Structure 1
Amino acid sequence: MTVPAPALPRGGPESLPELVQGGNAREAARSPVYPAGEPRYASGLGERIATVDEATATAALSVGVGFLPVAGAAAHLGPIATGAAVSLLAACAALVQPRAGHALDHHRLTINAGLTAGLAVTAAGLAAAVLPGLTGILLAGVLIGAGTGLITPLGFAALAAASPPERLGQTMGAAELGRELGDAGGPLLVAAVAAATTLTGGFAALAALTRRRNRDLDPAPPPRTAPAGPPALSRRATIMVRSGRVCTYVAAAVAACSSCPQSRRM
């Protein structure tokens, strides 16, 4: 005699699929979130990479704002031309930043590739500043603005992905400190090199430093994952399933006893 399995209790406000989804959501909330295709850096490594990149970008930005007018004045350009170069730098950064963040959200750009490209474009802008005349400072303003605009949102996204939730505020504070150090150190570096050599040498020195270090790009080996299985149940759903199984076994035992000849004689 086949005894149908009893239905699972429905006393709670949530159904079993909702409980399963809730359990998966809670498991996902406890796991670090990385954009698609990104390497999972070891603890602290991703934070250091992003902080250094943000500091480098801020150094280049402050040098562009401070020394492009100096380069323009040395080339006998008027205040309108030098002011236009600085305004062009700021406008390019403002245009690129939201688009870079949107591309990252839609997985059309990865953090690693975006930061590498941003630093390369920024270095090209610093190198373009050594070109004579109006063309040099305008091209430098465009490239420095575009490069720093690409680095800024991706760097903060990398910080958010690499930092545990319980110390996200501390990580962002340290990153902002790094940006301020870059803001102060970039102009000092260019000024010191320019005083020893020329302003062209100052731009070239910062351009040489504005690059990715290959040793910083080594991600931690990816964790070994178990083969894909059925979706994880939440604790409440697990209890409900086990209770249903127990009820099934008890019902089967009662049916077997009732069908026994000795129990019918009694």
Structure 2
Amino acid sequence: MSSAENKADDNTDSRQQAEDEFETVSHEDAETAANTDNKANANKDDLQLTRFDNDLRDVEDDSDDDEQGMAHHPIFGMLAGRLGQRRRGSSHKYDKLHPENQVLTIANVDECVEVEHDAFPEQERASREKFEYRLSRCPELSLGIFTQPTKAEMEEGSDEKRKLIAIIVATRTQAPSVTDASMDYPKDWKTDKRTLSTSGNKEPLGHQENGATICIHSLAVRSEYQSMGIGSVLLRSYIQRIKDAKIADRLALLAHDEMKKFYGRFGFDDMGPSQCTFGGANWNNMILEFSDLQDD
């Protein structure tokens, strides 16, 4: 065999070896709206929002380098609905979680209450009925991250079960920012099924289906899973989903002073103090205008 043939064979072997180092992530590997039992109930996209909180203790560990790593890690692709390639044998701090994402429904109310009560101070927690209202009226605006027991744990008969570890819950409003009315809910919502606001000088309470602003009321991570960047991954993927779905003009949330820098990293602008009195006030209006974001 000639040297040219040897070189050609070497190149072929190298290409084959490089290809073998990658493993394709298929649609079946990622639980998105198309792969969940809630597909028929999901409108527009797998998203929902609720009240935002300031007690995300994973913030300090989110360095720029770590964020770049998260942006290219398979979990981000799964949560954002974007599938790609993963190098065989790679490892990441999220791998042990075996996470999956799913739109939250009324069936997840109790778990949402647990997550928020674990993450937020008492005065800033949403009531169970608020969760029930939001997950009934606009579940497509919510998103949760669940952990799954590993195959080895299941084979060993472990008591580990599927667990909700992080949530985003939200509603729509016609107002340009979060207001006390948008954070509230009509007490007759179980009998009055209307979601479209009516004309008048007074802002209606709760979710308004024709609103162009999505108000994030809750981004919460269970305390045992904080300081892992999960809140950042969930928020980043949520923003991308809403942006890609083109279902709103902006995202809005409330943040305390110490959290403004965190949300600023995701494109939220500080619009100054909020008039909201919920949880003892001292909030800032944070707004992300989708018109200000460049298309990927």
Higher relative contact order (Cα pairs below 8 Å, separated by 6+ residues):
1
How high is the TM-score relative to the length of structure 1? 0.28
More helix by percentage: 1
TM-score under structure 2 normalisation? 0.26
More strand by share: 2
